[in-house]
Chain A
Amino acid sequence: MKSNTAAMSDKFTFVSSQSSDHQLSTYQGRFVCRYAYGRAKETMLQGEKGQDFVAVHIEGDTCNFVLCDGVGQSYQGDFAARFLGNRLMGWLGTTREWSSSAFAAFLSEITVAASEQLKQLTPPEEVPSLLREVLEVKQRLGSQTMYICGRIELPSSRKKHGRIWMAWQGDSRLRFWKNDAEISEHFQTTMLTSERWSTLKGPIGGLPHVYQTRLEYGLPMRLQLYTDGLDDLDPIRQVLPGEQVQLLLNAPHTGGLQDDAAFLELQW
């Protein structure tokens, strides 16, 4: 387990590489941030890219984060996850007043650039003709990803109230603890596999879910996000030691991960 301590400026950025795994690591500043990335065993053996994506940027009292789970059955799900993840980080870094409608509009606007880039990713020539035909159909249907993103602005002794804003579509896990009590019920009914972002259509299966609340000074909170490759975490409510989170990522009981997994936990 790696550990990074806040530098004087308290700035920290992590962006997962889809080509390699990242062991559970911890950054400690005003936020305590734990993050990790693991590819499915099948993906690793084939030397392919993972289809998940996770990124976090902390600067003093603020934190922007994104977690995406590319849809394996869409065309190049890793592309949608990476493209949307990077665009959302950019949007979170430049937007100060959030609204659901502006967010949904942004998700639709970026489909033009996404579709243009996806067009360049043609199926390889050497694959069997049936597979190539299927891949070409999928390319026309676009690349899809599920996502959770958000921004946290912490309260301080000078600024009594902070705020958290989050948006999501899909079945990745979003869990929230206030003073050690889990308050994730609000999110659970909205984590739907049928809801995604598509390079072709923008949000599909419904509009993005949005949550915003004030943060009180001095109240400890924990936010945990992970993709379904780490669903072994679902029944665990307490803070799991780093070694045990890594054990779930190594998944020795199944000879490796069955699906790609991205993990991000923020405490303050």
Chain B
Amino acid sequence: MNYTIQASQRTPALIIYLIDISASMNMLMDDKRRIDVVYEALSLAIRQMVFRSTKGNRLTPRYRIAILAYSDDVYDLLNGIKGIDEIAAVGSLPDLTPKRFSDSAKAFRQAERILQSEIPHMQDCPAPLICHMTDGVATGDDPEPIAKRIMSMSVPDGNVLVENIFISDHMLDQPIMQPRRWKGILPETELQDEHAVKLRNMSSPLPESYREMLAEADYLLATGALMMLPGSCAELVSIGFQMSAATPVRA
């Protein structure tokens, strides 16, 4: 239970992205629509996975990915779980088009069903990870109990990890001036937003192995930091998606 199993062709990592595509994702951040910032950050994370999966000129399927976009419904953008090699062969991700509401409970429920079917076959694999990105209060049911159930599911490598990227300018009392020197959100960090507190309750502690991988990319998150990022600028959103791909792999 220490999140050290390396992602390999035989033991691939499973990452499920839950992407909020509610209407507010049309709002601007750094002169771009939030949805476009998210699309770019997710594309960069996929690229990073390709980078970490090549051996010689070959792409080994060390990562398996599902992308669920949610509004009032859930949209399975890849039509099931796809290997990183299959995604690279297509070349780009499906478009993310903002819709109306933000029913994150539905998305977490669908992720839970995926995990229930996958986990029995993942006993030698790294612990699966859910990366949830949202920019506002959930409509529909409370997602927290479902997220807690997911966080209690486990494989020998560790419990399922849940990460939250919350696009908000009002989550912390001070802006983050230097993302690369930022220590992260700790259990005692004061949060200004009720929804942020809920998302923190739904966020796993950052495993040491992930923290070390991020440190190699010059992101100095502190021991004890949670898998939660305030998406107040494009770089922080990007760090959040890079965190999701920080599963240990063989050098």
Binding site for B on A (CB under 8 A): 42-43, 46, 48-49, 51, 71-73, 76-78, 123-124, 127-131, 133-135, 137-138, 193, 254, 258-259
Contacts and interface: CB of A to CB of B under 8 A. Distances in A.
A123 B250 contact: no
B50 A72 contact: no
Interface residue SS majority, chain B: mixed
- Size class of the B contact interface (CB-based, 8 Å): 20 to 34
B96 to A, nearest CB: 18
Given A77-B55, A127-B57, A128-B90, 12 more contacts: A42-B55, A71-B251, A72-B55, A78-B56, A128-B89, A129-B91, A130-B46, A131-B54, A135-B54, A138-B54, A258-B8, A258-B10
Contacts of B55: 42-43, 48, 51, 72-73, 77
B58 interface: yes
29 contacts: A42-B10, A42-B55, A42-B60, A43-B55, A46-B58, A48-B56, A51-B55, A71-B251, A72-B54, A72-B251, A73-B54, A76-B56, A77-B55, A77-B56, A78-B56, A123-B57, A124-B57, A127-B57, A128-B59, A128-B88, A128-B90, A129-B91, A130-B46, A130-B47, A131-B50, A131-B57, A131-B59, A193-B251, A258-B10
A48 B58 contact: yes
A42 B9 CA distance: 8
Contacts of A71: 251
B131 to A, nearest CB: 20
Which of A48, A73, A77, A137 lies at the interface centre, i.e. has the most chain B CB atoms within 10 A of its CB?
A73
Contacts of B91: 128-130
Nearest to B87: A130
Interface in B1-34: 8-10
B50 A134 contact: yes
A124 B58 CA distance: 10
B233 interface: no
B200 interface: no
A42 B51 CA distance: 18
B64 interface: no
A134 B9 contact: no
Given A78-B56, A130-B91, A72 B47 contact: no
Which of A42, A124, A137 lies at the interface centre, i.e. has the most chain B CB atoms within 10 A of its CB?
A42
Contacts of B58: 46, 48
B92 to A, nearest CB: 8
Nearest to A45: B9
Contacts of B249: 73
A127 B91 CA distance: 11
A251 to B, nearest CB: 12
B211 interface: no
A128 B46 CA distance: 14
The 4 A-B residue pairs with the shortest CB-CB distance in the complex, in nearest-first order: A72-B55, A130-B88, A134-B50, A128-B89
A132 to B, nearest CB: 9
